[in-house]
Amino acid sequence: MRNALYAQSGGVTAVINATACGVIETARRWPERIGTVYAGMNGIVGVLREDLVDTSAEDPEQVARLRDTPGGAFGSCRYKLPASEPMNADLMRLFEVLQAHDIGYFFYNGGGDSQDTAHKILMASEAIGYPLTCIGIPKTVDNDLAGTDCCPGFGSVARYVAISVQEASLDVASMCDTSTKVFVLEVMGRHAGWIAAASGLAGKGEGDPPHVILFPEVAFDQERFLERVRSTVERVGYCVIVASEGAKNPDGSFLSASSGKDAFGHAKLGGVAAYIASLVKNQLGFKYHFAISDYLQRSARHIASKTDLDHAYAVGAAAVDAAAAGTNGVMITIDRKRDVPYQWKTGTHPLDQVANLEVPLPRDYITPDGFGITLAARTYLAPLIEGDAPPRYEAGLPVFARLRMRRVGRQLPEYAPLRP
């Protein structure tokens, strides 16, 4: 019997804590194999600092409530571990920490970079002969991990974006006769248009919003775009645009890089919505509004999809079961069995075939005109936003987990990670 270490990494989601819950609850079912589950504070950075939480000190009711709690309960990090060859101080320190706390199972919960980290640690453990079961657990709103049908976290953002577009479009439709005619919603997706695509689920028929989706995968054609907006306003009375933050000019530069200067004369960061809105105002004269969901979209636990929540819990549980059964060096996956009715199960995929790959939105998910989604996209996306799983509310506000966060006693000297 050895202890386990779980940590969260990269941008967090509305349901990553459901994965933590799956790990902690499932480990308790393997008392002969798995001892204490420690959580690294702020991902691998906390492991390097020997900043560990003893999850066995938590009240089971609060652990269960992690399902209802967005964000990363144990903190996350953006930290890329140095490559394992040659061996480096970070990796040396990592194994000192693992050894000091008799950790034999390492579960890393994140996106592509995090799977790469898990893979590096696996390689290093073999190189130095430290027996370690190393399992990656998928999480990313970007939905771009290889080997899995979808990524926990994505389904809830997808639902948030689709519902937000439906709701805001009814607002714009009400106002368009004498006021706002164009509404732009900026969504996440720096490299792939999965989230932008999900907004397309808001519309069912001809003329339904969103009328224009700007994908990172389709070079922005200003003339065709403006013509589409103009004709949509003429036909429908208003136009709803969903712009991926990763939308690009034909030369490959981000549209957001064209969005002007801030009050300090610096190039504005972000701001594809502001750019698109200004363009529409200046070229077509329409009154506009724009919204930027930013963190709200990926933390909106209140509107999380039940499917996504179930996926998130299941990948945590499956990681522990796989590890206890002797599997090593894999990432847990969601495998789709059927579209309608939706059927799925968890599976595994070798870590070395996941790390540093990004799965783009397939071209056949985008309509030939580049502004919408196809039936293939709808078939893929629809099950992921299904089901309602509201948190418990008290006095109108959600009730989140309150963890004790009892720190594990330090046994090693202090250490500063190489890339702070």
Q: Tell me the catalytic residues.
A: 142
Which residue, 330 or 384, has its beta carbon nearer to a second copy?
384
Beta strands in 84-219 (DSSP E): 103-110, 133-138, 182-187, 212-214
Task: Kindly state the smallest distance separating residue 272's Cβ from a second copy, in Å.
Answer: 11
Identify the residue among 28, 249, 270, 359 touching a second copy (CB under 8 A): 270
Which residue, 303 or 351, has its beta carbon nearer to a second copy?
303
Strands 212-214 and 103-110: unpaired
Judge residue 342's burial from the number of C-beta atoms within 10 Å of its C-beta, 0-12 exposed, 13-18 middle, 19 or more buried: middle
d(C-alpha 381, C-alpha 370), whole Å:
18
Which residue, 22 or 71, has its beta carbon nearer to a second copy?
71
Beta bridge partners of residue 346, listed in sequence order:
334
Q: What residues from 139 to 168 belong to the interface with a second copy (CB under 8 A)?
A: 159, 162-164, 166-168
Q: What residues from 391 to 420 belong to the interface with a second copy (CB under 8 A)?
A: 393, 395-398, 400, 420
Task: Kindly state the smallest distance separating residue 27's Cβ from a second copy, in Å.
Answer: 22
Task: Kindly state the smallest distance separating residue 202's Cβ from a second copy, in Å.
Answer: 7
CA-wise closest residue to 153 among 49, 15, 23, 249: 15
292 near a second copy (CB under 8 A): yes
- Which amino acid, 45? V
Please give the backbone phi and psi of residue 66, each rounded to the nearest 5 degrees, phi first. Answer: -60, -25
By CB under 8 A, which span of 107-115, 268-276, 324-332, 407-415 interacts with a second copy? 268-276
Distances (CA, A) of 302 to 8, 68, 160, 201: 21, 8, 9, 19
- Examine residue 31 and say whether the peptide bond preceding it is cis (omega within 30 degrees of 0): no
Identify the residue among 75, 110, 152, 372 touching a second copy (CB under 8 A): 75
Q: What residues from 302 to 331 belong to the interface with a second copy (CB under 8 A)?
A: 302-303, 305, 307
Beta bridge partners of residue 276, listed in sequence order:
none
Strands 182-187 and 239-244: parallel
Record the tokens describing residue 155, joined without a space.
């389904």
Q: Kindly provide the b/e burial profile for residues 158-169, where b requires at least 16 CB atoms within 10 angstroms of the residue's own CB.
A: bbbbbbbbbebb
Binding mask 174-213 for a second copy (x = CB under 8 A): xx-xxx---x-x---------------xx-----------
Identify the residue among 24, 47, 77, 323 touching a second copy (CB under 8 A): 77
CA-wise closest residue to 79 among 38, 133, 121, 28: 121
298 near a second copy (CB under 8 A): yes
Task: Kindly state the smallest distance separating residue 177's Cβ from a second copy, in Å.
Answer: 4
Identify the residue among 266, 285, 337, 341 touching a second copy (CB under 8 A): 266
Task: Kindly state the smallest distance separating residue 393's Cβ from a second copy, in Å.
Answer: 5
Name residue, tokens 């990494």: 9
d(C-alpha 400, C-alpha 379), whole Å:
33
d(C-alpha 156, C-alpha 306), whole Å:
8
Which residue, 294 or 369, has its beta carbon nearer to a second copy?
294
Identify the residue among 271, 316, 329, 372 touching a second copy (CB under 8 A): 271
Given a contact cutoff of 8 angstroms between Cβ atoms, the answer to whether 299 and 70 are in contact is yes
Task: Kindly state the smallest distance separating residue 167's Cβ from a second copy, in Å.
Answer: 4
Task: Kindly state the smallest distance separating residue 248's Cβ from a second copy, in Å.
Answer: 15
Identify the residue among 4, 5, 8, 84 touching a second copy (CB under 8 A): 8
Q: What residues from 354 to 393 belong to the interface with a second copy (CB under 8 A)?
A: 382, 385-388, 390, 393
Beta strands in 144-268 (DSSP E): 182-187, 212-214, 239-244
338 near a second copy (CB under 8 A): no
Given a contact cutoff of 8 angstroms between Cβ atoms, the answer to whether 292 and 277 are in contact is no
Which residue, 17 or 348, has its beta carbon nearer to a second copy?
17
Binding mask 40-59 for a second copy (x = CB under 8 A): -xxx-xx-------------
Identify the residue among 173, 284, 359, 408 touching a second copy (CB under 8 A): 173
Distances (CA, A) of 220 to 77, 244, 250, 307: 33, 11, 6, 33
Q: What residues from 214 to 253 belong to the interface with a second copy (CB under 8 A)?
A: none
By CB under 8 A, which span of 72-80, 146-154, 222-230, 356-364 interacts with a second copy? 72-80
Task: Kindly state the smallest distance separating residue 332's Cβ from a second copy, in Å.
Answer: 21
DSSP state of 281: H
Total residues interacting with a second copy, rule: CB under 8 A: 86
128 near a second copy (CB under 8 A): no
